[in-house]
Structure 1
Amino acid sequence: MTSSPSLAGRLIIVTGAASGIGEATVGLLAGDGARVIAVDRNEDGLARLAAGTAGVVPLLADVTDPALPERLSQTLQSIGRPLDGLVNNAGIGRGGMAEETGDAELEQFLAVNLVSAFRLSRFAVGAMRAAGGGAIVNVASIYSIVGATASAGYSASKAALAGLTRQMATDYGPENIRINAVAPGLIETPLTRERIASETWRRHIFIEQAPLRRVGQPIDVARVIAFLLGDAAGFVTGETVRVDGGWAMGRYPRPEAAR
């Protein structure tokens, strides 16, 4: 399935590429003809992705590694073309109120969800100048927009990522570098599938109270990411696009059971 022919021939980095939203994004971009540098610390997942998807360059790495930008620079040199796009998708998430979140856990949320994206975006804007511009898409969360219960560290890190999106969009727009974010709601991934099936309260809150009344799929988010990377979004920057089935807009009880 394709979504943006304007991405054909472009070189795009995707982090957290081996599963969930990242895997769907890599597949969609590669299907559109893009060359994708897929970054993940899951060696088996990366190998599977590279074997099954043409145009993928796997890079086994942890996004919190300060040396990752240099490794990416070397990869770009070996490919022999400038960078066109970056998708900061890698992230972690756990519950916990502020009183239950220690300093070390908060630092981990910030290291993975915010600092890694900051570091890679800083690298990317420099690399994109050689191409005359480019696009960055950060994967935030609907929790970066609405108040969420028992999610202090995660919500804070994702809200900061949305703020970084707006700030960098302001600074680098004059260089034809667009920076946007997506804010997924409840998405069915390997990490959430079991909880969605077993936790009735989660289905009630996130599905029965959402206008579209279904759980999201990774491809739902991947399509929006591809749009924001492509020429069709050429006049869009600094935005955080909700991909949540309308949940944040329309949280209200429903008389019928959710599908």
Structure 2
Amino acid sequence: MKNPFILLCLCLIISSCQQSKDNSSKKKEVEIDTLDKTIEVNIPSNGETNRDLSQIKFVEQEQLMPFLRSYAKQNPENVVDIITDLGTFTVELYPEPILHRANFIRLAKLGYFDTTVFHRVDDNFVIQAGNSDRIGTHDFRSAVGDYLIPNEFTSKYPHDYGALSAAKYAEQNVSNASSPFEFFIVTKPDGAYHLDGDHTVFGRVIEGMEVVEKIDDVETDKSEWPLTNVGLDMKIVD
């Protein structure tokens, strides 16, 4: 049975995208996570993670921008392999949405996404990942921080076919701030430009779009949750 807390968060995020479809002193160096970034996250059958999450720095909203800007300088990578149960595709992260790029790289290195699945598939519109009904996903979120990422809209990066964009919470979000945990990829062949200005595009698929299409074709229930979980793992390429 899906965890009620996770489902509540999922519903809030889905409702946003669904509605869009229908309509002079030197500052102290910001502390960065000390967690070993090379250890893989394993999810036992009970859905719990075997990682000691107490080592992860919890980030408050007030700390977010200086923290992520510092993290971005120390972690400049922008190419990531997303390894799924249906194959691997590669995304390139754009440099300008600096907060979104840094946050995505941080969560990938920490292993957060390895606990998640593609939890929403809307055929010929988007596939969305970064959530699950596993205890490990909820525990990871609690350890990482309770924050939203300020939007970083730019007309330079519209919601083209294959665009990588950030999901958002629907309610009480007049600034269109992004969820730090969930992302989606546009599978609408002629783009989803009605989402421009509502969601921040921060990357694109550069290889393996056929894998994205396979995920886009999976059977789902009425809530657009795939009947068979499509898990994912992330590998930093460059």
Q: Which has the higher contact order (CA 8 A, sep 6+)?
A: 2
The structure where strand makes up a greater share of residues is 2
Is the TM-score greater than 0.5?
Answer: no
TM-score (norm 1): 0.25
